[in-house]
Every structure is written in structure tokens, then in C-alpha cells.
Amino acid sequence: MKRIILTLAVLATVAAFSSCSRDKEGEFTPKEKIKAVYVEQSDNESGAWRSDGRFLNESYNWDEKLLASINYYDFGDFMFTETFNYDKKNRITGSTFSGDDIEPGVGTEYTYDGKELKKITLKDNDFVAEDVVFAHSDGKISEVTVTLYDIFLMDKRIMQRVNPLRTILPPQTVETIDHAVLEQAKNRKGSKDLSLKFKLSWKGKNIESISIDMEDENLKLDYTYDKKRNPFHGLFTACDMIMDIMMDNILPSRFFSMLSKNNPLTLKGSFSEDGDEVEEISATYTYVYDGKWPTKSTLEVPSSYTDWEYNEETGEYEPHTINFIVRVVTEYEYED
């Protein structure tokens, strides 16, 4: 299997919150409340549109100004619900998962230091699956350290849909990281624990670049943005960044930058091993707006595969590179 897989992976959310208007970490009180997210996507192997058509990916339940819960779907079929708990300051203190065959006790816990979010823990009863630790500089999150504990034990339905990067990175980048992380974990002797550090650089209220160190590997990403409002600004995922790449579930994530005020337009980056660039990464985003808010987004990711054809003259198989574009169309419905 090729080490860098520039195709679509998808993961939904275990959410942490920061205010859209005041940027208070732990709060999510947007002026426009998301009601549902629908998706249509092309095949990640060929670029042809999938036969599934448009399907429900997420639905949101609100208790006045607070997000009460999110329902997650697998190509339109219900998977599970995440329900959120809050303190007196309307900051999230944790969440719990519920659904068919999901054992009680799976959820998240949030730790604050004054106004700053310091740590989020993903737990399966007494088993700690992951810690996400935040460092700050000049009042903004500057580093995120993700420590995964025995990454192959967590409920794969939860792991497949929770990811601290799903709204920062385009899906093909997430799968690149997933693959690298899983390979590293499989090659380790004894412990399956793994720590990754994400360094964030800001330009105004948007993330300008992200650097991700993975032992001997590094992923560097640069972004540009529009001037419209990101409806998920402040709703940032904060749990597991591993998915089982052997599962045939490539639902597209919403690919908004969770911490950025505006919506991404372009991404350019590179993946390197031992200091040598291995693969270039790129993606473009286009939107349909209703006033200041997007109602439809289209992600386009250049991709390719190698097709081997038999040459009768030489009697050998020869490689041919097939280029195509993978597309994901996401539509957003808002509360009235």
C-alpha cells in the first residue's frame, strides 16, 4: 500500500467549544445555528460520483443557545449520539456517547485553567484512550499534543468519527496522518502509546500554517481564507485522530478550520520523511453563501493512481499514471 494516500477519509466530531463572538474557549454560541449537514461525494479511487447520492451526515439538537447533542450518521444510517454537559459559565465539561451496541461509560472530560482550555481526555469507562493537551501563546492555542494510549482498543465506530483535526485539515491530509500513525504504532514493540505535536501559526483570527511532527516525519500545511463567517468557528474536535484505514467508510468531514474565524480557500503543504520531501499536498474550497454564512461547500483534491498495462511489443507491463479530482459537496441547513 502506498505510504501517502491522498484520498478522502472522514471523521466526525467529539466537540470542544469556544465562542464565535468572544473567542472564549469552552463555549460555542453561534449566531447562526447548524441544523443538519448533508454530503455528496465522488469515489476516492476514480473521481466518479458515488451512487449513494446526497445523504445526511450529522444533525444538531439545540437547547436554546447551547448545543445539546449531535447525531452522527453513516451514509444516512444513524450511528450514535454525543450529548454535551456544561458548567455555570456555559463551558463544556464533557460529553457522553449513546447508541446501539455502544457500552455505557464512553465519553470525554474537559479541564480548564482559568479561561484557557488545558486538556481533553477521551475515556472508555476506566480506560483512558487519549489525552489532548493545549499550550497557549499570546492568548491563542499555539500547540496541541495528542497522546494515544493503545490505539487499537477503542470502539472503532467512535474512533472512526472523532478527530481533533477533521475541521482543521482537508480529508486527504487526515488520511495521510492516519496511515503514518498506524504504521508507526504497528512497528512499535510493546507499548502502542503514541504522542504527536501540532504547532499552529496565526494570521489575525485564522490559522495560517500547521506543522505536525511524527517522529521522523513532518507535515507542513499553509492556508488562505475567505472573508465570510465559518459556522463551526469554535466547535473544534478534541479527541481521537486515528481511524481504521481498513474500514470502507469515507464519509467526508466538514473541513472548516475549527479555530479560524473564516473559511479556508486553499491548502498547500508537503509531507517529508527524514528531512526529504515525499509528497506535495493541495486542496481547494469553493462556497455558496447566504449573506455572511456558507450554505454549500465544495472540496476538490487532486489525486492519482497507477494503472499497469501490458505492452505486447516488449512483453512487459508498463505503468501509467491516471490523474483525477476527488470532490466532496457539503450542504448546511440552519435553524430558522
Check residues 189 and 44 and name the one with the higher pLDDT.
44
DSSP state of 42: B
pLDDT of residue 246: 24
Check residues 190 and 279 and name the one with the higher pLDDT.
279
Task: Tell me the one-letter amino acid at 72.
Answer: Y
pLDDT band at 191 (very low <50, low <70, confident <90, very high): low
7 is a domain residue: no
pLDDT tens by residue, 109-144: 889 999 898 998 888 888 887 888 889 999 888 988
Strands 127-137 and 34-41, sheet pairing = unpaired
Alpha helices by DSSP H, the chain: 156-161, 171-187
pLDDT of residue 177: 56
33 is a domain residue: yes
pLDDT of residue 238: 37
pLDDT of residue 281: 78
φ, ψ of residue 285 to 5 degrees: the values are -125, 135
**Which domain, by its residues, includes 101?**
15-334
Range in 131-135, 189-193, 225-229, 291-295 the model is least confident about: 189-193
Q: Is the pLDDT of residue 334 over 70?
A: yes
Cα dist. 210→62, 165, 281 in Å?
Answer: 32, 11, 13
Contacts of 232 (CB under 8 A, 6+ apart): 34, 167, 254, 256, 258
Q: Give percent of the chain with pLDDT exceeding 90.
A: 21
Range in 32-41, 138-147, 181-190, 225-234 the model is least confident about: 181-190
Range in 64-73, 200-209, 213-222 the model is least confident about: 213-222
97 is a domain residue: yes
Q: For position 296, which CATH number holds?
A: 2.40.160
End-to-end CA distance of the chain: give it in Å, rounded: 47
- Sign of the four-CA dihedral 148, 151, 155, 157: positive
pLDDT band at 186 (very low <50, low <70, confident <90, very high): low
Q: Provide the 3-class DSSP secondary structure of residue 92.
A: strand
pLDDT of residue 333: 96
Residues 259 and 237: their CA atoms lie apart, in Å, by: 10
Range in 77-91, 164-178, 182-196, 212-226 the model is least confident about: 164-178
pLDDT tens by residue, 41-67: 888 777 888 888 899 988 999 999 999
Residues 231 and 294: their CA atoms lie apart, in Å, by: 8
pLDDT of residue 21: 38
Range in 11-25, 45-59, 169-183, 241-255 the model is least confident about: 241-255
Q: What is the mean pLDDT of residues 268-288?
A: 82
Residue indicated by cell numbers 481533533: 164
321 is a domain residue: yes
Quickly list DSSP for 208-272.
EEEEEEETTEEEEEEEEE-SS--TTTTEEE-S-----TTS---PPPP---SS-SS-EEEEEEEEE
Q: Which helix (H) or strand (E) holds 208?
A: strand 206-214
**Number of other CB atoms surrounding residue 126 within 10 Å:** 6
Residues 141 and 133: their CA atoms lie apart, in Å, by: 10
pLDDT tens by residue, 210-268: 887 766 777 788 889 999 998 887 775 432 232 222 222 222 233 235 678 898 899 88
Based on the structure, what is the number of domains in the chain? 1
258 is a domain residue: yes
Residues 320 and 153: their CA atoms lie apart, in Å, by: 40
Q: Is the pLDDT of residue 168 over 50?
A: no
Half-sphere exposure of 306 (CA within 13 A, CB side): 7
How would you classify residue 53: left for phi > 0, otherwise alpha for psi between -120 and 50, otherwise beta?
left
pLDDT of residue 35: 95
Smallest CA-to-CA distance from 9 within 244, 240, 228 is with 244
CA 83 from chain centre, in angstroms, equals 19
Contacts of 126 (CB under 8 A, 6+ apart): none
In this structure, what C-alpha cell is assigned to residue 92? 463544556
pLDDT of residue 59: 93
User: CA angle at residue 210 from 265 to 109, to 5 degrees?
Assistant: 105
Q: What is the mean pLDDT of residues 274-284?
A: 78
φ, ψ of residue 157 to 5 degrees: the values are -65, -35
2 is a domain residue: no
φ, ψ of residue 175 to 5 degrees: the values are -70, -35
pLDDT of residue 267: 85
283 is a domain residue: yes
156 is a domain residue: yes
Q: Is the pLDDT of residue 179 over 80?
A: no
